[in-house]
Structure 1
Amino acid sequence: MLVQGVVALVTAAMTAVVPASPSRGGDLQKSVDGVAAIGAMAEVRSGAQVWRGSSGVAELGTSRKVPVDGRFRAGSITKTFVSTVVLQLVAEGRIRLDDSVERWLPGVVPNGENITVRQLLNHTSGLYDYKNTLPMPPSEDFYALRYRTWTASEQIERALANPPVFDKPGSQYDYSNTNYLLIGEIIKKVTGRTYSDEIERRIIRPLGLHGTTMPRTSTRIPGPHPHGYVPKDGGQLDWTEMNPTLFGAGGDIISTTHDLNRFFSALLGGQLLPARLLQAMKTPGIEDGTYGLGLSWHDTACHIRVYGNDGDALAYQAYSFSTADTRRQATVAVTPHLPTNPDATVNTFLDKAFCS
């Protein structure tokens, strides 16, 4: 690990921040108020200036405000943490991106000798997504599985019972959560510790991400948090508590807007990875793609490219992006009023954060 850089980052993070100007803060508040969700919270950074705000309610049927420092399930942003761990192992010479899956998990994946660690990380393996084998709302089977503990091996087995979505690994992009379940298993094989242990040891503790936790089988969200919901019988069912092994290494992390901004500042600022591996992380898996090794990017309305990731954890959705120089960052988390998709209104908020 690049300990010296991490220590420097934590020291810098302890310095005072400057509130955003009243006019900018007002514009950002209006924009977050426009996010289509039950509740939303955000942190926007521009140099030393920081704005934090929230909108909506923390729980349906109440007037409680969404806590600006609230915790939430960050979904697939977990993948960026997992990928960072793998790339640190690459930097340490303990694994190679072009190692085959068969090298580390012999006999687990058909055609595993022709699928690489890199292809798992950038979703070009072609492996079927295990989530497509699971019931989802409004299926009654979905609600019955709320507290079930899943193992990575059984989810991988469910996925591999289906043929790959394309024949030649590396030739196409197809997002599959199965890839990161396998990456989690490879991390355990390489280090002797779970991906959760490694994320805590290598990222959460060194960066002082005090609001970020790896929940394992814990069904609750610790600390202040808004309630999240899934649709049921034409209404909204409180789904705040659930067994996060459903997501596993592909999406189980719990965090805050502040912590995610700090993490992406450290990552994109070069404190967690050597430059060559950070560049590999930002390299698309296919030509003209927008997803690299656990990292995605898009261009804002004002043509500023921002890097980060977004995540969907059923009752929570999160979006965290930063300019390449980390001078501007924005993280927003929402509790969506499903089936309404908040993406378009969140993108409007991100444009306001990065372009004004």
Structure 2
Amino acid sequence: MDGVHRAGMPGVYAEVRDAGQVWRGASGVADVRTGRPVRPDMRQRVGSITKTFVAAAVLQQVEQGRIRLDAPIGGYLPRLVPGERGKKITVRMLLNHTSGLPEYLPYAFPSLKEWPSLPDLSPKSLDDNRFKQFRPAELIEMGVNAPAAGEPGSTPGVYSNTNYLLLGQLLERVTGTTAENYITRNVIERAGLQHTEFPAGPRINGPHSRMYEGLFGLIDPPRDYSVYNMSWVMTGAGLVSTTEDLNRFYDTLLGGKIVNRSSLAQMQRTVPVINLEGQQIDYGLGLHTVTIPGCGTFWGHDGSTWGALTMSWTRADGKRQMSLAMNLARWNKLDSSGNPQHHPIDDALAALYQQAMCGNPVG
């Protein structure tokens, strides 16, 4: 982790578990102006790791018979996904990103519309939306009305926050309370998490780092976005948590204590999906998987929001876990074709992943 900090990351912190042993550590600063050190117990905006919590909540409702995985979403939310599309798109397709519904983000943040085309990319929308209160229905409408990303059910799927905002509305429809309330009571509290919550406002409760966004070198020096209204992506990427809580959550989930074994098997049925960075990943229902040669297969999720990157991975046998948080996002500058340029942080992170997830240092 010191290597990651030396390579240019302001602060990095993690918890690694290995067969009952727990290691926590941190390197660098939580505030580049004051030099306040980062600590391993700090809270972090965990981005799309939120999707695993949402998916677990939906599967609980499947177990109770209130939701059917292969039922059309139009039967539950006809106003949000009307017509033929609502008949073709199923709950499962929303969960595994094969709905064909595109990402609404470029419409909610117009200065990002041409991402990653450098001449048209600007951070203006990030500042314009810092305190803006979005309604889920207006964001969903942006995604539903945009050009389709594919046919419902076709693969590879296309990763889209539109899917998970719809799942939040589905949970509200069948439970009679907000998705955030339901997930708090039935997922967060069931897992015994003490420092995980949907933020009530733009500020994070408890000790946390500032969160610096580089936007591919367009914000230089990177700007702090730790104070931000997360209504633009709440059931897609709104949670705040800690590395300790994330390891506990995935240990509990993958141990069959939040959803039953049948539901967990559904969550681990993967399809190819193209993520927001244009890479193909193996995605299940709110979970995806990575395989490290000579080390094993890991389940979990990663997450990004303005200024924060987080990931949490658990080996298939459950014995090795790594949850890692960083307070600088999109540090790679883009070349003229819009491709991220290599940065020393990338090499330092590769070495960290190898040691943290596999237990063997590199070099």
Query: Above 0.5 in TM-score?
Result: yes
Corresponding residue of 2:254? 268
The amino acid of 2:353's aligned partner reads L
Matches within 5 A, 1:5-44: 29-30=1-2, 33=5, 36-44=8-16
Is 1:88 the counterpart of 2:60? The answer is yes
- Give the Å deviation of 1:344: 5.8
Corresponding residue of 2:31? 59
Give the conservation status (yes or no) of the 8 Å contact 2:150–2:157.
Answer: no
Structure 1 residues without counterparts, runs of 5 or longer: 1-28
Matches within 5 A, 1:168-187: 168-187=152-171
Deviates more, 1:205-214 or 1:264-273: 205-214
Matches within 5 A, 1:210-289: 210-216=194-200, 218-231=201-214, 234-286=220-272
1:198 corresponds, among 182, 186, 189, to 182
Is 1:329 the counterpart of 2:321? The answer is yes
Q: Distance in 1 between matches of 2:266 and 2:79?
A: 28
- Give the Å deviation of 1:276: 1.3
- Give the Å deviation of 1:270: 1.0
Q: Distance in 1 between matches of 2:246 and 2:12?
A: 15
Is 1:139 the counterpart of 2:123? The answer is yes
Deviates more, 1:331-340 or 1:219-228: 331-340
Deviates more, 1:147-156 or 1:329-338: 329-338
- Give the Å deviation of 1:39: 0.7
Alpha-carbon spacing, 1:277–1:345, altered in 2? closer, same or farther (3 Å):
farther
Q: Distance in 1 between matches of 2:257 and 2:4?
A: 30
Q: Deviations over 1:170-220 (max 9, x none)?
A: 44310011000000000000101111111110122222211111114x111
- Give the Å deviation of 1:301: 3.9
Q: Distance in 1 between matches of 2:295 and 2:123?
A: 41
Q: Deviations over 1:103-124 (max 9, x none)?
A: 1001322411000000000000
Output the TM-score relative to the length of structure 2: 0.85
Corresponding residue of 2:338? none
Is 1:296 the counterpart of 2:267? The answer is no
Q: What is the SS of the residue equivalent to 2:188?
A: helix
Q: Distance in 2 between matches of 1:249 and 1:285?
A: 22
Q: Distance in 1 between matches of 2:328 and 2:153?
A: 35
- Give the Å deviation of 1:60: 1.0
The amino acid of 1:139's aligned partner reads P
Alpha-carbon spacing, 1:286–1:233, altered in 2? closer, same or farther (3 Å):
closer
- Give the Å deviation of 1:310: 0.2
- Give the Å deviation of 1:37: 1.8
Corresponding residue of 1:22? none
Deviates more, 1:257-266 or 1:29-38: 29-38
Q: Deviations over 1:26-50 (max 9, x none)?
A: xxx5566567521111000001211
2:103 corresponds, among 125, 129, 132, to 129
Give the conservation status (yes or no) of the 8 Å contact 1:36–1:345.
Answer: no
Q: What is the SS of the residue equivalent to 1:235?
A: coil
Q: Deviations over 1:302-337 (max 9, x none)?
A: 241000000001111100000122211000000116
Give the conservation status (yes or no) of the 8 Å contact 1:261–1:320.
Answer: yes
Corresponding residue of 2:303? 311
The amino acid of 1:249's aligned partner reads T
Q: What is the SS of the residue equivalent to 2:222?
A: strand
Q: What is the SS of the residue equivalent to 2:180?
A: helix
The amino acid of 2:87's aligned partner reads E
How many pairs were matched up? 327
For the aligned residue pairs, the C-alpha RMSD in angstroms reads 2.0
Structure 2 residues without counterparts, runs of 5 or longer: 113-120, 274-279, 333-342
Q: Deviations over 1:260-287 (max 9, x none)?
A: 0000000111111111110110111349
Output the TM-score relative to the length of structure 1: 0.86
Deviates more, 1:334-343 or 1:156-165: 334-343
Q: What is the SS of the residue equivalent to 2:157?
A: coil
Deviates more, 1:82-91 or 1:153-162: 153-162
Q: Deviations over 1:97-144 (max 9, x none)?
A: 001111100132241100000000000001010112223473323312
1:45 corresponds, among 9, 14, 17, to 17
Q: Distance in 1 between matches of 2:329 and 2:189?
A: 34
